[in-house]
Structure 1
């Protein structure tokens, strides 16, 4: 079944690797043109080379810079056409227990994971609303819905991004713009691997799947860690016409890990 994305233009942040790169590939496979953005050039330039410059345009972008976001949105609509889809994937993780969490790590986490979502979503909504159509998808985390030891800043920033996206969705629904979130659980990305013990990747992955009673963490009922493509498929669905009557929804893609707490 067609996703109805042929020829549409999508902006993806954090596109250089992991979930962001998988989202770019999935959108291209559904016929979309993609503006792939990241703070570093290597990953997005590789995507442009892989898929072709007519399908993927690579641009540097720091989502914490509001002026840069607005400038890129203007340039995009001037040179590539109207923006149909915006996907917020850019995110950072700086694990720490709260009593040792620094002000800088707290601020940096919110600057990217929450304020960056605000900057990009606001820029997209401003332009989409006037045209009476559009879809904004924010990649959050299942950590936004269940307490996690050592991840307070990350979980709080993702929870803020989820509620922001829902509020935006309420405001722009009357303009034909849909806003949804996808909340992954543990996914095979560099961010996930950074939490694992060096040299013990297999054992670390097993602990994630089995859970850890000592840290009050459930395992993954489906018995596997997600691939970035699993998350990308959910993003593409919510961005597409197949989800035309879905807005303000938070779709968990975590193999049942949170028991939907």
Structure 2
């Protein structure tokens, strides 16, 4: 039986974040859905089972915005017990065309956002002597990909943060893990496909097939599969699992 907890999910409005929200809500957790667009978050909240779910608009790259969002989460639903850092952004360019603004944007959203949200939630977890932090990284955090240097560097940073903080909190009843999806059927992937089509002239079907071929199973990962991994890491049964970067990629990374 799952103990109901207060879980904060960033980047919750769509894709992997929305799948995680549905999975945790189905288990009875009360959620605070965080993202840039309150309207999209409200639409998701209306679809979720259970009651007591809250919405908080946030820019995870802005420290003041993060503090306000977590203050609202506590006001509505009490101390944070589970944090899923899912907010992220991907842009591609060869390094020679990766300007400082793109580089910083990838670090801000993917890495600094994870740091800021973790720092905001941590006092609650330490006070309780129990907690789960799950960072949604990427297989890009475990290997290299051409033409996404900034994104790959940021996701490597997320994996490093995960491992270091897991050791820091190992005796505090708090686990810190990352899930690293391969190419996953989301709006983010569709946007990436559109960008590749525009730059290369290949058809969307060709690009999709090439991305699926990177997975030894020959398919794209589904958001619900990532959500299942996150839900397990949030459970009592995963208490001995910390500091791990779990690849959800059909065997692309071993």
TM value normalised by structure 2: 0.93
Structure-1 residue corresponding to 2:53:
56
Structure-1 residue corresponding to 2:216:
221
2:98 to 80, 96, 101: 101
Q: Aligned pairs, how many?
A: 248
The whole-number CA distance in structure 2 between the counterparts of 1:115 and 1:158 is 11
Structure 2 unaligned spans of 5+ = none
SS in structure 1 of the partner of residue 171 of structure 2: helix
The whole-number CA distance in structure 2 between the counterparts of 1:44 and 1:53 is 16
SS in structure 1 of the partner of residue 41 of structure 2: helix
The whole-number CA distance in structure 2 between the counterparts of 1:27 and 1:55 is 13
Aligned pairs for 1:48-127 within 5 A = 48-51=45-48, 54-127=51-124
Structure-2 residue corresponding to 1:241:
236
Structure 1 unaligned spans of 5+ = 211-218
Please report how far the alpha carbon of residue 195 of structure 1 lies from its aligned counterpart in structure 2 after TM superposition: 2.1
Structure-2 residue corresponding to 1:167:
164
The whole-number CA distance in structure 1 between the counterparts of 2:63 and 2:22 is 26
SS in structure 1 of the partner of residue 34 of structure 2: strand
SS in structure 2 of the partner of residue 194 of structure 1: helix
Question: Residues 134-191 of structure 1, C-alpha deviation per residue, up to 9 Å, x if partnerless?
Answer: 1000000001111111010000000001111211111112111110000000000111
Question: Residues 83-126 of structure 1, C-alpha deviation per residue, up to 9 Å, x if partnerless?
Answer: 11000000011101101101111001100100000001111122
Please report how far the alpha carbon of residue 51 of structure 1 lies from its aligned counterpart in structure 2 after TM superposition: 1.7
Please report how far the alpha carbon of residue 236 of structure 1 lies from its aligned counterpart in structure 2 after TM superposition: 0.7
Alpha-carbon RMSD across the aligned residues, in angstroms, is: 1.6
